[in-house]
Every structure is written in C-alpha cells, then in structure tokens.
C-alpha cells in the first residue's frame, strides 16, 4: 500500500513540475535579456548566481530546521 501511495504522489507531481519548469524558463529569459541590456552580461550572470545561491541557502536552512523532512 505504501508503494502505491508513493507512485500516485510521484505521478501527480510530474505535471506540476513540468508546468513550473516550462513556464518559468521563458520568463527567466526575458528577465535576463532586459537585465543584460541594462547592466551588461557579466553583472547579469552575477545576479543569477546570487539568486541561485540564495535559493540554495534557503532550502538548506529549511531542511536543517525540519529534520523530519530528511528522514
């Protein structure tokens, strides 16, 4: 029964992931295009790296704060 629930949860999450991934990619391209015209490509890459690092730190903090989620 537990395996069945896991499969159902995984199958229902795939379309949501595809919608978010596919929908956010064009928006990120538009944002990076505007930003690169305004401040230049090196600064755009730096801002993107800072955003990715920040998201990683927030995720790391959230996982460490809730130890039951990692079990």
Tokens matching residue 7: 């499969």
Per-residue pLDDT of the chain (71 residues; tens, 9 = 90+): 445 565 666 667 778 878 887 888 888 889 899 999 999 999 999 999 999 999 999 999 988 887 665 55
Residue 27 confidence (pLDDT): 84
3-state secondary structure 1-58: CHHHHHHHHHHHHHHHHHHHHHHHHHHHHHHHHHHHHHHCHHHHHHHHHHHHHHHHHH
How many domains are there within the chain? 1
Rg (CA), the chain: 18
Residue 22 confidence (pLDDT): 82
* Range(s) of the domain holding residue 11: 2-70
């Amino acid at each position: 029964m537990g395996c069945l629930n896991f499969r159902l949860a995984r199958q229902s999450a795939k379309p949501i992931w595809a919608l978010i991934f596919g929908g956010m990619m064009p928006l990120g391209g538009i944002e990076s295009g505007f930003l690169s015209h305004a401040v230049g490509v090196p600064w755009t890459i730096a801002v993107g790296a800072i955003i990715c690092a920040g998201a990683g730190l927030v995720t790391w903090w959230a996982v460490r704060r809730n130890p039951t989620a990692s079990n």
